[in-house]
């Protein structure tokens, strides 16, 4: 990966595309969980590619490229969400260089879209809690890694996970109660 980063930092678009191909599963899972649909998730990933490519020389540590890309992606998902709430219209933009990367990998998309139960469990959570739970449970990041990505103290991440699990549990109790007793 370090060789790819070095080449990408020298302007090699193919090396940069390969970095994104290696991360596509994680990126799609995060974007889809944040945006709630395939089109917005793919838009967020494309915007992330453009932003990170243009700012690659600002990367402080090559070892943190994955966290940096995910952080940019999360911000792009927030932007799409906010923009959609304001206008309900998202403009499509064509960018020449991302054509080399295909994020329509059916196996990743089907894997995420078929996991309806997990997404339904997260519906009672706010956006930050959803992202943290996705990163922790679906993408298997440690609390320390999530802390670095989101710039939140690790103990706070642990607390959010614990509270989120409690919210889900209480929500399930409420749903079960309603189903049984109407």
Tell me, what's the pLDDT at 153? 92
Q: What is the sign of the dihedral through the CA atoms of 138, 30, 86 and 116?
A: negative
Q: Convert the pLDDT of each residue in 71-95 to its tens digit.
A: 888 888 888 877 766 544 333 333 3
Per CATH, which fold does 115-182 belong to?
Arc Repressor Mutant, subunit A (1.10.10)
Overall average pLDDT of the 13-42 stretch: 86
pTM score of the predicted model: 0.57
Residue ranges of the chain assigned to CATH 1.10.10.10: 115-182
Q: How confident is the model at residue 175 (pLDDT cuts 50, 70, 90)?
A: low
Which architecture characterizes domain 1-114 according to CATH? Orthogonal Bundle (1.10)
């Amino acid at each position: 990966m370090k060789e790819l980063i070095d080449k990408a930092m020298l302007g090699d678009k193919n090396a940069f595309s390969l970095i994104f191909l290696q991360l596509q599963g994680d990126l799609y899972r995060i974007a889809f969980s944040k945006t709630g649909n395939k089109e917005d998730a793919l838009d967020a990933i494309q915007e992330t590619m453009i932003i990170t490519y243009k700012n690659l020389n600002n990367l402080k540590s090559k070892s943190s490229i994955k966290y940096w890309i995910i952080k940019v992606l999360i911000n792009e998902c927030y932007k799409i969400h906010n923009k959609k709430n304001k206008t309900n219209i998202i403009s499509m933009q064509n960018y020449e260089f991302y054509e080399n990367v295909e994020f329509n990998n059916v196996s990743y998309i089907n894997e995420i879209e078929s996991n309806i139960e997990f997404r339904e469990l997260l519906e009672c959570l706010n956006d930050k809690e959803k992202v943290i739970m996705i990163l922790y449970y679906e993408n298997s990041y440690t609390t320390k890694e999530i802390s670095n990505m989101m710039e939140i103290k690790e103990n706070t991440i642990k607390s959010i996970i614990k509270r989120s699990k409690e919210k889900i549990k209480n929500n399930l109790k409420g749903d079960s109660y309603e189903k049984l007793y109407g």
